[in-house]
Amino acid sequence: MSVRRINEVLSETVASLTEGKMPKVSVYDNGGKTTDRYTIVPHGKDWEEGRGMRMMLGVDDQGGRAFSQFTSGQVGRHLGKKIKFSDLPPATQKHVKMRLSESVEFGESVDRTEASELKLFIDNDGQLYRGMTTNIYKNLVNKKAAGRYNSQLATKAFLHLADEGAKRYVKEFGSRGDRWHEMFNKPTRMHVAEQLRGDFEEEMKLGNYDYLLMKKYQKKK
């Protein structure tokens, strides 16, 4: 993940907002199938060169009251129908402009040392693996078999894992007063989530998680 590129895209977006212009974005509507009904994709180069990943903002239809989160993903029909920004509910339009201008999620940079430490902890914590990690793998590998795998949603699942890993790390190794979300800031945890998702997808392609498939999908193989 290129943090520099994220900040470049956000800087361009903020500059447009400062000048009173609405920055160029693509807007997708999935019709309310998920809480993050709308996906806002600022125009710019691919977030990760060669992998087709772009930065995007997922937001609900309630002006961001239920869901509003920056993430990375691939643009495609899975995001829903492409609509105009002006088609968004007024409250959602206002919220999106605010989120793009403040760029809170990326105000800090990835701490690669802390990211490596957190990922190593998650990869080697047996209790976490037998519980949360395995459940995520099982859910995602079956979605893939059913033709409903979504890389963007997979990243969100692994972000939950990164959050839980950060909490356990601080509980085990932290000092009094340490806060998990400060020791591992949001960009760092997102970076770990992207790495975890990438590792999962590589192993899934090799068939290393086929044992987690439901019987109805095992028959297809």
The reply to whether 98 and 116 lie within a common domain is no
Answer with the one of 47, 79, 106 that is the final residue of a domain.
106
By C-alpha distance, which of 40, 106, 97 is closest to 73? 40
| Number of domains within the chain | 2
The reply to whether 116 and 100 lie within a common domain is no
The reply to whether 88 and 147 lie within a common domain is no
The reply to whether 79 and 171 lie within a common domain is no
Domain with 58, as residue range(s), is 3-106
The reply to whether 167 and 84 lie within a common domain is no
In sequence order, the β-bridge partners of residue 71 are 56
Indicate if the pLDDT at residue 115 is higher than 60. yes
Q: What CA–CA distances, in Å, run from 29 to 13, 55, 81?
A: 21, 17, 5
The reply to whether 126 and 178 lie within a common domain is yes
The reply to whether 57 and 148 lie within a common domain is no
Indicate if the pLDDT at residue 202 is higher than 90. yes
Indicate if the pLDDT at residue 29 is higher than 90. yes
The reply to whether 60 and 127 lie within a common domain is no
Higher-pLDDT residue of 54 and 116 is 116
The reply to whether 135 and 211 lie within a common domain is yes
pLDDT of residue 194: 87
The reply to whether 9 and 96 lie within a common domain is yes
Indicate if the pLDDT at residue 46 is higher than 70. no
| Neighbour count for residue 215 (Cβ, 10 Å) | 6
pLDDT of residue 218: 85
Higher-pLDDT residue of 183 and 52 is 183
The reply to whether 118 and 210 lie within a common domain is yes
Residue 162 tokens read as 């990164």
| E-only strand ranges, the chain | 25-29, 38-42, 54-59, 68-73, 81-83
- pLDDT band for 70, please (50, 70, 90 cuts): confident
Answer with the one of 55, 72, 106 that is the final residue of a domain.
106
- pLDDT band for 57, please (50, 70, 90 cuts): confident
pTM, entire model: 0.56
Share of the chain above pLDDT 90, in %: 44
The reply to whether 99 and 133 lie within a common domain is no
Answer with the one of 50, 76, 106 that is the final residue of a domain.
106
Average pLDDT, the chain: 82
- pLDDT band for 94, please (50, 70, 90 cuts): confident
Amino acid at 106: F
The interaxial angle of helices 186-205 and 112-124, nearest 10 deg, is 50
Amino acid at 203: E
